[in-house]
């Protein structure tokens, strides 16, 4: 693994514009290339804007959110992308403000009244970005920012209070007397009030819910400790005693608030600002009479034209005679399929052939794709019920502490005095309050998140680490997960094909969106495409035909070239074609969707560690067996020709599951598994239904994830042990009457410090 990393660095050069190391030639991304140029590629013309449908007032209004429009930009790469997009007002004078939020892939636009949304959309596209307008109702960022700001303010107040209280308390412990002592004593109370009333609000809500739903939540003991220490300290203040818990309570509230905030923002970072939604909304299509129509407005019976490389938005019947369709997004089938007139096609299919006509049999709302989406959303709701380890343990600890405190109060109070009994019980609750627990777990999580992020792993759910240690069954998707997800040319006959023939073959495939065409273009990058081909005809599913006509003195010499697919029983690869020149075979080309380099090693590695590996795919049985067994997955664990629902039900049969996938067809299984992982390049919906997203290509981050998971688990366990030891020692001291507020103020920071060191230590490698 180390080696491949080093290889990558060796190959890379610095981007000419921004200096980022990159494996691409000259520039790291198109933004840098454009920023280094003179912007002449932007053609300012108002006619024929493909986005003009956005300007309809009722349509534009559904996106306007407090004078701002928000776009989700898919392919932001580096700082240059930010600069380039923020230059929008220079290119379009009606646009007044353009602000990018890099972390969340968001663009915020403000315009004058004359500004046209279509123009902005076109400019963004011209700059080379894929942008989605976010609907007003789907935009969650303003609500999120509002709550984050409120949290920050609460933390600021708690911090200020805790810091000042410490200074004043220190003066009291140090032996202040006279007016100064009185002054400091009352200042303690006054300073504590903002924290009690303002900063701790969140805990009250949590505690109230805990009572309402009759569950033990960590907020409940925190509130009890907070309120009882406040009441006790105030009574002592009035009675003239110096036994206060103001300072120690304030500092633990501050620390807990801080740790929680870190966990919250790290998680938010990866939640997309757009709510779970189909990427097919707001897409433009055209009707039979070429009037534009937006995907949501398509009604049953409408005849829609689907351009080359466009996705079918609704379930429909094919009207055109034939169509070559990529169904991988929907069912994971690796190779495109031919559909003929009258057959049912589903939303999410992609048209690879010439423009076709379809007649809608559903609306966007009632399409199969949308059903899948709703089901996924439903299963996500169920999933959040998971109870994690530290929660369970802290519940037990909390119950133990309270039972102990109750018993002690009654018995000691009965034997000696209730007054002294109350003092000791309160010391127990304040000292043994699960500070180390409440602070330690979120801190461990935050560090683990941060480390995962550095390794190209985005987590959307803090429970992932705890669930990781329990995982036994790992399900892999085939296409795009174990394999690279696209065909590559792996073998040719004859071994060396001359440049002339290559250029003819490329010429034949020039206009094609068939995976073979992409594979050939990738394999023969340096070959020129032959310009002299005539009469090129693509016949659906079976091949391409074309002619080269060379004029000679007497008559024209006609060479007919043809590319035909070979039947499956003649080869062992995913796809093979033969090239014919005047009906004579001149070359054969073999294609395969190759396994990723690391797949085999990874699966073997996992099986050595007693994980059960499975392969789930919508693709053909033969291909699934071939690829699965090449990875070392046993035949009984390979399931092929599955629909999304079937994938889900297989995953549900097992416990402690992890599913790794990339396609829409995996999304149900992803949300049904305990841990759903989507690999880089996954579709939007897939990302939304999984807990983990790999930002680095391939499956290598999985190894890293398991390692971080183990570290997190060990650290959590150590923190819990430390907290337990601390709680038992400090608790018994409190019950023996050895703890006074001074010792509480000393012990609590020490325990926090130990947990902090322990957490950092756990992730040192």
Partner 1 sequence: MNILILIIPMALLLGAGFLYAFFWATSNGQFDDLSTPSLRMLDQDSKHNKNDTKENIL
Decide whether 71 or 706 has the Cβ nearer to partner 1.
Answer: 71
156 binds partner 1 (CB under 8 A): yes
Q: Does 93 engage in binding with partner 1 (CB under 8 A)? A: no
Q: How far is CA 316 from CA 299, 344, 355, 618, in A?
A: 11, 6, 15, 21
Partner residues linked to 639 by β-bridges: 616
Minimum CB separation of residue 262 from partner 1 in Å reads: 12
* Closest to 619 in 3D by CA, of 591, 592, 639, 597: 639
Q: What are phi and psi of 595, to 5 degrees?
A: -65, 145
Answer yes or no whether residue 67 interacts with partner 1 by CB under 8 A: no
How far, in Å, CA of 486 to CA of 480, rounded? 7
Stretch that binds partner 1, among 13-21, 432-440, 572-580, 685-693 (CB under 8 A): 13-21
Residue 100 found at the interface with partner 1 (CB under 8 A): yes
Residue 157 near partner 1 by CB under 8 A = yes
Which one, 145 or 209, has the nearer CB to partner 1?
Answer: 145
Number of residues that bind partner 1 (CB under 8 A): 28
Per DSSP, the chain holds a count of helices (H) and strands (E) of 26, 28
Q: Backbone phi, then psi, for 508, in 5-degree steps?
A: -65, -35
CB of 163 to partner 1, least distance (A): 8
Give the CA-trace dihedral at 343, 346, 352, 357, to 10 degrees.
60
Kindly state the tokens that stand for 202.
């969140």
- Tokens coding 27: 């520039």
Helix (H), strand (E), coil (C) string for 427-449: HHHHHHCCHHHHHHHHHHHHHHH
**Interacting residues with partner 1 between 187 and 216 (CB under 8 A):** 187
Among all chains, which residue has been given the structure tokens 């049953």?
A: 300
Residue given tokens 């996106």 in the structure block: 63
Stretch that binds partner 1, among 94-102, 239-247, 340-348, 656-664 (CB under 8 A): 94-102
CB of 35 or CB of 312, closer to partner 1: 35
Regarding 286 and contact with partner 1 (CB under 8 A), the answer is no
313 vs 358: CA distance, rounded Å: 10
Per CB under 8 A, does 355 bind partner 1? no
Q: Which residue's CB is nearer to partner 1, number 133 or number 161?
A: 161
Closest to 563 measured CA to CA, from 507, 623, 491: 507
Q: Which of residues 506-535 bind partner 1 (CB under 8 A)?
A: none
Q: Is 46 helix (H, G, I), strand (E, B) or coil?
A: coil
Shortest Å distance, C-beta 149 to partner 1: 5
Contacts of 485 (CB under 8 A, 6+ apart): 479, 593, 662, 681
Query: Which residue is it, tokens 């683990």?
Result: 448
Contact with partner 1 (CB under 8 A): which of 42, 160, 271, 490?
A: 160
Q: Examine residue 152 and tell whether it contacts partner 1 (CB under 8 A).
A: yes
- Residue 465 in contact with residue 709, Cβ under 8 Å? yes
Q: List helix spans (H) across 534-680.
A: 599-608, 621-631, 644-653, 667-672
Per CB under 8 A, the segment of 76-84, 248-256, 378-386, 593-601 that binds partner 1 is 76-84
Q: Rule CB under 8 A: is residue 272 a binding residue for partner 1?
A: no
What phi-psi label fits residue 282: left (phi over 0), alpha (psi between -120 and 50 degrees) or beta? left
Taking the complex as a whole, the smallest distance from the CB of residue 145 to partner 1 amounts, in Å, to 5
Q: How far is the CB of 83 from partner 1 (least distance, A)?
A: 5
Interface positions, 297-326, toward partner 1 (CB under 8 A): none
5 forms part of the interface with partner 1 (CB under 8 A): no
Nearer residue to partner 1 within complex by CB, 17 or 706:
17
Candidate residues 8, 64, 180, 411; the one interacting with partner 1 per rule CB under 8 A:
180
Query: Looking at beta carbons only, is 180 or 760 nearer to partner 1?
Result: 180
Q: How many angstroms separate the CA atoms of 131 and 696, rounded?
A: 22
**Considering beta carbons, is residue 148 or 368 the nearer one to partner 1?**
148
In whole angstroms, the minimum distance from the beta carbon of 4 to partner 1 comes to 28
Nearer to partner 1, 339 or 449 (CB): 449
Long-range contacts (CB closer than 8 Å, 24 or more residues apart) made by 732-738: 733/431, 734/424, 734/427, 734/428, 734/431, 734/432, 735/404, 735/408, 735/424, 735/425, 735/428, 736/424, 737/420, 737/423, 737/424
Q: Which is nearer to partner 1, 107 or 356 (CB)?
A: 107
Q: Binding of partner 1 at residue 82 (CB under 8 A)?
A: yes
Q: Residue 103, interface with partner 1 (CB under 8 A)? A: yes
Which three-class secondary structure state does DSSP give residue 6? helix
Does 56 help bind partner 1 (rule: CB under 8 A)?
no
Partners of residue 533 on adjacent β-strands: 548
Is the CB of 266 or the CB of 311 nearer to partner 1?
266
Q: With contact defined as beta carbons under 8 Å apart, do 487 and 593 qualify? A: yes
Residue 148 engages partner 1 in binding (rule: CB under 8 A): yes
Is 651 among the residues that bind partner 1 (CB under 8 A)?
no
If one asks whether residue 97 binds partner 1 (CB under 8 A), the answer comes out as no
CA proximity to 110, closest of 92, 130, 96 = 96
Asked whether position 86 contacts partner 1 by CB under 8 A, the answer is: yes
Is residue 83 a contact point for partner 1 (CB under 8 A)? yes
Which span sits near partner 1 by CB under 8 A: 180-188, 575-583, 679-687, 691-699?
Answer: 180-188
Strands 657-661 and 638-639, sheet pairing: unpaired
Q: Contact between 64 and partner 1 (CB under 8 A)?
A: no
In the three-class reduction of DSSP (H, G, I as helix; E, B as strand; rest coil), residue 12 is classed as coil
Q: How far apart are CA 594 and CA 481, in angstroms?
A: 11
Q: Which is nearer to partner 1, 101 or 308 (CB)?
A: 101
If the CB atoms of residues 193 and 549 are measured against partner 1, the closer one turns out to be: 193
Of 191 and 431, CB closest to partner 1? 191
User: Which residue ranges make up the site for partner 1 (CB under 8 A)?
Assistant: 16-17, 19, 35, 79, 82-83, 86, 99-104, 145, 148-149, 152-153, 156-157, 160, 164, 178-180, 183, 187
């Amino acid at each position: 693994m180390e080696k491949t990393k080093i290889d990558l660095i060796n190959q890379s050069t610095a981007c000419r514009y921004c200096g980022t190391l990159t494996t691409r030639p000259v520039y790291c991304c198109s933004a840098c290339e454009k920023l280094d140029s003179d912007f002449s590629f932007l053609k300012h013309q108002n006619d024929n804007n493909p986005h003009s449908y956005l300007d309809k007032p009722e349509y534009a209004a559904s996106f306007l959110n407090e004078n701002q429009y928000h776009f989700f930009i898919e392919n932001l790469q580096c700082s240059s992308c930010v600069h380039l997009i923020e230059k929008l007002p220079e290119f379009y004078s009606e646009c007044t403000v353009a602000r990018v939020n890099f972390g969340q892939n968001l663009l915020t636009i403000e315009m004058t009244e004359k500004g046209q949304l279509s123009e902005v959309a076109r400019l963004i596209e011209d700059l080379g970005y894929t942008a989605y307008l976010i609907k007003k109702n789907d935009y969650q960022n303003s609500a999120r920012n509002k709550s984050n700001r409120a949290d920050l303010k609460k933390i600021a107040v708690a911090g200020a209070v805790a810091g000042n209280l410490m200074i004043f308390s220190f003066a009291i412990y140090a032996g202040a007397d006279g007016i100064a002592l009185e002054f400091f004593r009352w200042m303690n109370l006054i300073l504590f009030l903002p924290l009690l009333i303002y900063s701790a609000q969140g805990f009250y809500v949590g505690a109230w819910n805990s009572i309402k739903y009759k569950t033990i939540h960590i907020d409940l003991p925190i509130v009890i400790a907070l309120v009882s220490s406040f009441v006790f300290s105030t009574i002592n203040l009035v009675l003239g005693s110096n036994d206060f818990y103001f300072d120690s309570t304030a500092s633990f509230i501050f620390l807990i608030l801080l740790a929680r905030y870190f966990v919250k923002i790290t998680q938010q970072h990866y939640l997309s600002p757009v709510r779970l939604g189909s990427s097919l909304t707001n897409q433009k299509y055209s009707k039979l009479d070429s009037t534009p129509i937006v995907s949501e407005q398509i009604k049953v019976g409408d005849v829609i034209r689907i351009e080359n490389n466009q996705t079918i938005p609704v379930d429909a019947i094919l009207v055109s005679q034939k169509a070559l369709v990529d169904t991988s997004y929907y069912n994971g089938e690796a190779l495109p399929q031919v559909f003929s007139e009258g057959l049912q096609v589903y939303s999410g299919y992609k048209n690879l052939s010439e423009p076709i006509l379809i007649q809608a049999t559903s609306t966007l709302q009632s399409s199969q794709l949308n059903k899948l989406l709703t089901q996924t959303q439903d299963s996500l709701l169920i999933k959040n019920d998971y109870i994690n380890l530290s929660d369970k343990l802290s519940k037990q600890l909390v119950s133990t502490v309270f039972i102990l405190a109750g018993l002690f109060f009654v018995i000691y109070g009965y034997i000696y005095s209730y007054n002294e009994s109350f003092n000791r019980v309160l010391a127990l609750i304040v000292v043994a309050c699960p500070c180390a627990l409440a602070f330690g777990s979120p801190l461990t999580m935050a560090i683990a998140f941060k480390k995962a992020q550095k390794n190209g792993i985005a987590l959307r759910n803090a429970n992932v680490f705890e669930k990781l240690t329990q995982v036994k069954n790992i399900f892999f998707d085939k296409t795009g997960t174990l394999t690279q997800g696209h065909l590559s040319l792996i073998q040719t006959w004859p071994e060396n094909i001359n440049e002339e023939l290559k250029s003819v073959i490329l010429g034949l495939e020039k206009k094609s969106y068939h995976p073979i065409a992409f594979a050939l273009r990738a394999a023969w990058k340096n070959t020129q495409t032959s310009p002299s081909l005539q009469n090129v005809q693509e016949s659906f599913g079976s091949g391409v035909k074309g002619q080269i006509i060379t004029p000679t003195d007497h008559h024209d010499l006609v060479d007919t070239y043809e590319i035909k697919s070979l039947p499956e029983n003649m080869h062992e690869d995913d796809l093979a074609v033969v090239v014919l020149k005047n009906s004579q075979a001149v070359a054969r080309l073999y294609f395969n969707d190759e396994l990723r380099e690391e797949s085999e090693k990874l699966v073997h590695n996992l099986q050595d560690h007693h994980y059960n590996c499975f392969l789930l795919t919508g693709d053909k049985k033969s291909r699934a067996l071939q690829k699965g067994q090449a990875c070392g997955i046993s035949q009984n664990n390979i399931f092929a020709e599955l629909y999304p629902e079937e994938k889900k039900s297989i995953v549900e049969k097992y416990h402690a599951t992890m599913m790794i996938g990339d396609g829409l067809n995996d999304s149900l299984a992803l949300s049904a598994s305990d841990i759903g992982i989507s690999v880089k390049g996954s579709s939007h919906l897939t990302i939304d239904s999984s807990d983990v997203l790999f930002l680095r290509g391939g499956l290598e981050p999985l190894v890293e994830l398991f390692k971080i998971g183990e570290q997190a688990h060990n650290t959590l366990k150590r923190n819990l042990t430390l907290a337990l030891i601390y709680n038992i020692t400090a608790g018994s001291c409190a019950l023996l009457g050895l703890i006074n507020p001074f010792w509480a103020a000393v012990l609590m920071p020490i325990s926090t410090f130990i947990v902090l060191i322990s957490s950092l230590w756990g992730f040192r490698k």
